[in-house]
Amino acid sequence: MWDHTGKEYIDACSGAVICNIGYGNPKIANAIAEQAHETFFAYRTQFENEPAVRLATELVEYSAPHLNRVFYVSGGSEAVESAMKLCRQYFYNRGEGSRYLFISRVPSYHGSTLGALALTSYAPLEIPFRPMIRTYPKIPAPYCYRCAFHKEYPHCDLECARALETTILEQGPENVAAFVVEPIVGASIGALVPPEDYFSVIQKTCRKYGIFLILDEVMTGFGRTGKLFAYEHWDIEADIVALSKGMASGYYPLGAIMVRDDTVDEVVSKGGFAHGHTYAGNPMACAVGLEVFRVITKEHLSENAAEMGRPLKAGLKDFAERYKMIGQVRGKGLLLAVELVKDRDTREPFPIEKEVNLLLTDMAYEEGLIIYPRRPINGLSGDHVLVAPPLIVKKDQVGEILDRLDRALKRTMNKL
């Protein structure tokens, strides 16, 4: 990227972890031009359109066998809310109208619109709106570095995963519709990978009580974590998967949910899904999504993310040896994060007024590097930055990212 003065930056966080295929890809420009000569718009209740059908077909082919239906939207928040509403309408149609509660985690980010915000736990983004949002039950995320139960894995018996069952029982299983979760936490905690057996406990609990497992893959989908979808890292079967970001990689607003047949049939056979957005599934967005998907699959970008993630993570871990303010390096593929602490032994965070995550981001900016700052303790304290470059990154560029970050860390240390 170049700014108005001509200064060059390496975008090491893909915008908001979205530009999976990188910027300025001529294949996408061509796909847009070609589609523009066909049609910009066809309303989904009147016409299907070719790009939408083709993209859905390819998504179904490449995703888990049971996910064989696609419903389009134009962004991540819309995808999450569509997942909630489809799940709710499914239970409603089946005569289980008491199921309306969605359990999610603390912290988490699922989007900015009121329904998605109700699932979110990231204080600065919710506090002003709390009186307007329905309060849904939440369980602690598997943030082992700061365990909510003050336990240590593996001696903890995965209390954070078992909290799902306790919460379902507290709320009454007949009232719970779904558990909504990011397979690998993106922004809110910073590239948090759960313990290996976490999702097997979650999946069993969801099945036991007949509730949906909704995976929010808005950030993790489309190759980001080294697999096309992050659920492939474990033996899990989500009932609904929410997608966006990398799906059109920033070239157009696009998102989707993927679902199994019987969920859709239950809803469609009884009057149809009482939900939808005017721009959803429009031919321009889907033509872009189709071309982006082909770039990701044909150019093996998931594999490149897995491969380039290794030296990048190794480089970040090497920084942790040299900079005592690095408390933890985490993540998978090209969704990586560095948590910064005042005291590595006690894991005490820096005082919030020092705004260390922003300071490091500013120093990186000066070095021509873009990273993504957040606060892992429910958005209120702690400091982390995401390092998540486009999935086309090459080995020498990984080296350049690390060099610039090294200089930024040095400058941050000197300022503190």
Ligand X SMILES: Cc1ncc(COP(=O)(O)O)c(C=O)c1O
**Residue 304: other Cβ atoms inside 10 A:** 20
Find tokens 């474990």 and name the residue.
Answer: 234
Q: With binding defined as CB under 6 A, does residue 118 bind ligand X?
A: no
Q: With binding defined as CB under 6 A, does residue 289 bind ligand X?
A: no
Stretch that binds ligand X, among 74-82, 351-359, 361-369, 389-397 (CB under 6 A): 74-82
Q: With binding defined as CB under 6 A, does residue 183 bind ligand X?
A: no
Q: With binding defined as CB under 6 A, does residue 218 bind ligand X?
A: yes
Nearer Cβ to ligand X (75/327): 75
Q: Tell me the closest approach of the beta carbon of residue 244 to ligand X, in angstroms.
A: 5
Angle at which helix 395-415 crosses helix 356-366, to 10 degrees, equals 120
Q: With binding defined as CB under 6 A, does residue 190 bind ligand X?
A: no
Q: CA-to-CA distance for 352 and 354, rounded, in angstroms?
A: 5
Q: Tell me the closest approach of the beta carbon of residue 253 to ligand X, in angstroms.
A: 8
Q: CA-to-CA distance for 389 and 408, rounded, in angstroms?
A: 17
Nearer Cβ to ligand X (108/412): 108
101-106 vs 138-140, strand pairing mode: parallel
Q: With binding defined as CB under 6 A, does residue 76 bind ligand X?
A: yes
Q: Tell me the closest approach of the beta carbon of residue 233 to ligand X, in angstroms.
A: 16
Q: With binding defined as CB under 6 A, does residue 13 bind ligand X?
A: no
Q: CA-to-CA distance for 20 and 296, rounded, in angstroms?
A: 8
Stretch that binds ligand X, among 19-27, 104-112, 122-130, 339-347 (CB under 6 A): 104-112
Stretch that binds ligand X, among 110-118, 159-167, 222-230, 327-335 (CB under 6 A): 110-118
Cα-to-chain-centroid distance, residue 285:
20
Q: Is 172 left (phi over 0), alpha (psi -120 to 50) or beta?
A: left
Among 67, 82, 92, 111, binds ligand X (CB under 6 A): 111
Nearer Cβ to ligand X (184/398): 184
Q: With binding defined as CB under 6 A, does residue 186 bind ligand X?
A: yes
What residue type is assigned to position 239 of the chain? D
Nearer Cβ to ligand X (56/386): 386
Stretch that binds ligand X, among 76-84, 130-138, 156-164, 384-392 (CB under 6 A): 76-84
Residue 396's Cβ-side half-sphere holds a number of Cα atoms within 13 Å equal to: 0
Does the N-terminal peptide bond of residue 195 adopt cis geometry, omega within 30 degrees of 0?
Answer: no
Nearer Cβ to ligand X (243/409): 243
Q: CA-to-CA distance for 376 and 384, rounded, in angstroms?
A: 7
Question: Among candidates 143, 163, 138, which has minimal Cα distance to 153?
Answer: 143
Q: With binding defined as CB under 6 A, does residue 110 bind ligand X?
A: yes
Nearer Cβ to ligand X (115/309): 115
Residues in the interface with ligand X (CB under 6 A) total 16
Q: CA-to-CA distance for 187 and 337, rounded, in angstroms?
A: 9
Nearest residue by C-beta to ligand X? 76
Nearer Cβ to ligand X (247/363): 247
Q: With binding defined as CB under 6 A, does residue 244 bind ligand X?
A: yes
Question: Among candidates 37, 109, 73, which has minimal Cα distance to 289?
Answer: 73
**Residue 323: other Cβ atoms inside 10 A:** 16
Nearer Cβ to ligand X (186/373): 186
The footprint of ligand X (CB under 6 A) covers 16, 75-77, 80, 109-112, 182, 186-187, 216, 218-219, 244
